[in-house]
Amino acid sequence: MNLVLIGYMGSGKSAVGRALAQTLDFQFNDLDQLIEQSESQTIAGIFQTKGEIYFRKKEAEAIRDVLSKNKKVVLATGGGTPCYGNTMDFLLQQPNVSTIYLKTSLEVLTGRLFIEKESRPLIAHLKSTEDLNDFIRKHLFERTAVYERANEIVITDGLEVTEIVREIIARLF
């Protein structure tokens, strides 16, 4: 079985993914890192030089590649990954894939992302928590219907990474 973590940026996909993979003795992959390695460029650089459409195509190719080559992988996706093209449909049709939505409240996301916004090109330009909150709210409005199609939804607010991992394992195994 392969486990694919989805959710908005800042929801903990990478941190939870690493811990989950270690606990289950699965391989861990971060989709953004895989794309950066294959393109020899940062995600921000890809967006800037080749555009979002190119990036989304590479993202769809990379997710299919990883899942076709692995049987025990935890994959942390980008926040928009399941929302473009037919990626969510593809994930839900795979018999060896379980999708897990790490559902995190707007308030928690705003707090986490404001602290690290300089390292995130999509939000680095936002100057106040109010602007960031509005940005996230708009994205969540657009993406939640896709996220909630996941096989499992885990509400992460107030939980430590280890507690989220235990919750996922309890639901899947």
* Strand 2-6 with 97-103, pairing: parallel
- pLDDT value, residue 50: 93
Residues comprising the binding site for substrate? 32, 56, 79, 143
- pLDDT value, residue 131: 97
Q: Which residue bears the tokens 């486990």? A: 3
Residues comprising the binding site for Mg(2+)? 14
Q: Which domain holds residue 85?
A: 2-172
Residues comprising the binding site? 10-15, 32, 56, 79, 120, 143
**Domains: count for the chain:** 1
Q: Is the pLDDT of residue 70 over 90?
A: no
Q: Which residue bears the tokens 């106040």? A: 128
Kindly state the average pLDDT of the residues 16-45.
Answer: 96
The upper half-sphere exposure of residue 74, i.e. CA atoms within 13 Å in the direction of its Cβ, equals 23
- pLDDT value, residue 124: 86
Q: What is the CATH number of the domain that holds 165?
A: 3.40.50.300
- Interatomic CA distance for residues 28 and 50, integer angstroms: 27
- Interatomic CA distance for residues 62 and 54, integer angstroms: 12
Predicted TM-score (pTM) of this structure? 0.95
Residues comprising the binding site for ATP? 10-15, 120
- pLDDT value, residue 118: 83
pLDDT in tens, 117-171: 887 878 989 999 999 999 999 999 999 999 999 999 999 999 999 999 999 999 9
